[in-house]
Amino acid sequence: MFNTCERQQCSMWDEDLQTVDFIPEPSDSRILSAADINTRGHQEGWRSEVIGWNPQPVPVISRPRRTGQKIANFSIFVIITLLIWGIWKAEILVIDIPPPKSEWAFEDSGARDLQELGFTGDGVKVCMVDTGIDTTHPDLQSIDLVFKDFVRGAAEPIERGSLAHGTMMAGILVADGYLEGVAPGVTLGMAAALGDDGEGGNSGDQNTVASAIDWCWKTFGADIISLSLGGESDPDADRNGPTTNAVRQAISNGVFVISAAGNDGGSDDDGRVSTPSNVVEAISVGAFDDTGKIWKGSSLGESLDADGTNREHPHMKPEISAPGVGIISTAYGGEYYSSTGTSDATVFVAGILALILEAEPHIMNDTDVDCITEVKLALKESAIPINPDVEHDSRSGYGAVSGTAWLDEIRNSGACL
């Protein structure tokens, strides 16, 4: 069920609206749609979901005062209010209330701990296949960017998506301003291969997505490919699709591929992570919230590979979970949106891996697939269990990502040496 309201009216919500996300209407960003976060539409083919903008109310803290001070304090308040009003009317002063941040996500994932060790992702190339990027955002103006448009061949960076999906994913990784991303020092390759499907989502042709993945490692020279997108996995297909083949080729050339597990969790979950995160050596990522609980929208993983064989450790799907609920990031026109999904979680894992590659650069130069498996084994061993009763959970994987623990495990195990 959806309801629309003016932004000013929506800003003062009651407890009944605490479980909804607010999505700005494409035709008029002043009008927001309140969407139940438990309701998810399904789009056929390739998509990358965003739940939208979620403004947070500013808490008011009351402090007890002595009765004798109330009149004097009220008079001072009136004088200050009138003074500020006069300055505002004279257009001398503009007061902006900053948006909230998702700092919990950077801390809980271990990204900030790695940054405190001095790592920013410098020297590492991360490629995103998404909807593009809006580089006019103040947090994205100083990033090291290589852009390629596979939709219409635009020469300059452009955002083609619904609700600025690519810009939001880029902000989680490289924002360097009001928000600070996971790995702001990386060189970002943005391959625009998805666009607004006219129904509030983003989609793209598989061949276009495959071409973008090829560009990421063949031309851009990516060390990591981050795929906040997903398609339906057909267990009865007699051959792989072009995107799956592109991912496998990238992996066979030593490129790490981090891909979203999918957002079809719940009663309608088909029991399979999305493609191409189902590729054996790819890292499939689920999402958890600020309490450490797995997001119920994260897709379940299957125990069988595409060819019908049993999956083995450390390639059980999904492999890992990362922050992905209510993540605030960069959007259109200098604004900030909040989104929920495995798309966001994917970028956290890609960014943390970039910090690790900076710390252990020999891993980037290894084109042996066995090195990728060793890094994934270290990821498995370092994960913080979300479901401690099992070694691998079909929704949360081996557990929650821990940046410093992953790095320590790689060093202790001698991975890729």
> What is the Cα–Cα distance from 82 to 87, expressed in whole angstroms?
9
Q: Is 307 a catalytic residue?
A: no
Catalytic residue among 165, 211, 274, 298: 165
Catalytic residue among 108, 130, 223, 344, which? Answer: 130
Query: How far apart, in Å, are the Cα atoms of 329 and each of 5, 23, 56, 323, 359?
Result: 23, 14, 14, 13, 26
DSSP state, 162? G
Gap between the Cα atoms of 136 and 12, Å rounded: 30
How far apart CA 39 and CA 56 sit, in angstroms, is 20
Tell me which of 233, 321, 343, 396 is the catalytic residue: 343
Does the annotation mark 233 as catalytic? Answer: no
CB 314 within 8 A of CB 293: no
Alpha-helix residue ranges (DSSP H) falling in 90-205: 103-108, 111-116, 165-174
Distances (CA, A) of 354 to 119, 151, 388, 401, 409: 9, 27, 28, 14, 16
Helix (H) or strand (E) holding 391: none
- Tell me, rounded to whole angstroms, the distance of Cα 206 from its chain centroid: 21
Q: Is 343 a catalytic residue?
A: yes
Catalytic residues: 130, 165, 343
